[in-house]
Structures are given as C-alpha cells and as structure tokens.
Amino acid sequence: LADRAHTGRARNKAARRAILTAAADLLGQCDPAALSVERIAAMAGVGRQTIYRWWPSKGAVLLEAMVERAGSELSPIDSGTLIGDLELFLTATFRAASDAPTARLLRSVMAESLRDLHAGEALREFTARRRDVLREILGRAEERGELARGVDLDLVIDQAFGLLWYRTLLGHEPLSRKSALGLARALVRQVAPGSLARPGRPEPPL
C-alpha cells in the first residue's frame, strides 16, 4: 500500500474502523480526562471533521467503540438450570469487567455518558441489551417453573448489574469470581429458594 500521500475519497470504512479502534484504545488507557477528539483523530490518522460527520458528539464515538469491543462476548448460555446459567453468565461478565483496561473503559464510558446526551442514550441502549440477556435466562427458568411467584425480575436484574457497575465505578471491592458465584446463589435464593436444596444443583421441580 504504502504511500497514499494523504487524501482520497474511498476511505470510508477504513477510517471508521480506525476511529473506533483508536477510541477504544484510548478509552482503555488510564486518564479519562485525556480523551479528546483531537487525540482520537490523530491516533486514527483521520481528520477531525470525519468524526463529526458520522457521530453527533465525542461521547457517541466512545460508546460505539465500547459497544463494538464489548459486544462480541455474547455467547448464548443455557446450562439447563437457573443457578447454572447465572453462574456462567455472572462469572463471565465479572471476569470481563474486572480486566483492568475494560474496567477503565467502562468508567470512561460512564463518565462520558453523564456529560453527553448522545453517549447517555447509547449507554442506556447498551445496558438494556445486557439486561435482556439476564432477563432471558430468568425467563427460561420461569418457563421451567423454577421461579417463585410475584418476583420483580427488573429488581433482580438491576441488583446484579448494579453491583457490577457500583464496584467498577468506585473500585472499593474487586469483582472476584467468588463474588460472582455468591451473587448467583443470592439471586436464586430470592427468586427460586427451593432450587438450592442441594447447592449448585437444582432440585428437580418435582
């Protein structure tokens, strides 16, 4: 390839990729205040206007970068039992979020979304999809009859993700594997207390 003095029309996709990659890389770096459009553009080898042409604001770029990076880990989970699904999902999610660059990324993204409406909307959308995954897991348990009646599933879901974000944002406590397993069991106690008779294994619904 090589040279390409500097300009040209047909760059579109490469530029888009470069921008998102640069944004994600910078998001994963330490300082959330050093996140300027200029820096992203420079790292991507792109004009600043090219960013503003496609995204409404800085936050929107960052969110899209984050979504792309985090969106890949969506592997369907179905162990056949609620506790199994929860353990799988939560340990995987906690492990991902406790990776240092990813944690920085999450913090930066939240910081951005609190300042920028576009980013806020995008983060809301992103988190909604994550909650859907958990809701589906709980839905399958319900179909199997595992769930007690009258459980507020939204409350359960927000406890899980709330704990994840709370610890990530504040950093007072790590997102350990142990806490993921503990959380899984705690949630089951709330929604399907009977299924924990033999811990780790669901009781047959009988």
Partner DNA sequence: CCCTAAACGAGACGGTACGTCCGGTCTTAAT
Partner DNA sequence: ATTAAGACCGGACGTACCGTCTCGTTTAGGG
12 binds, among its own copies, DNA, none (CB under 5 to 8 A by kind): DNA
Report the residue from 108, 118, 119, 130 that binds its own copies according to the rule CB under 8 A.
108
Q: d(Cα 78, Cα 76) in Å, to the nearest integer?
A: 7
Say which residues have a Cβ less than 8 Å from residue 66's Cβ, sequence separation at least 6. 24, 27, 105, 106, 109, 126
Applying CB under 7 A, the span of 9-17, 68-76, 95-103, 189-197 interacting with DNA comes to 9-17
Residue 91 binds its own copies (CB under 8 A): no
Residue 4 binds its own copies (CB under 8 A): yes
Per-residue binding string, DNA, 27-46, x by CB under 7 A, is: -------xxxxxx-----xx
Query: Which of 118, 105, 117, 102 lies closest to 31, judged by CA?
Result: 105
Report the residue from 16, 107, 144, 177 that binds its own copies according to the rule CB under 8 A.
107
Residue 7 binds its own copies (CB under 8 A): yes
Say which residues have a Cβ less than 8 Å from residue 188's Cβ, sequence separation at least 6. 82, 83, 86, 195, 196
Count the neighbouring beta carbons within 10 Å of the beta carbon of residue 157: 19
Nearer CB in complex with its own copies: 81/179 = 179
Count the neighbouring beta carbons within 10 Å of the beta carbon of residue 26: 22
Q: Which residues bind its own copies (CB under 8 A)?
A: 1, 4-7, 32-33, 107-108, 110-111, 114-116, 123-124, 127-128, 152, 154-156, 158-167, 169-173, 179, 182-183, 186, 189-190, 193
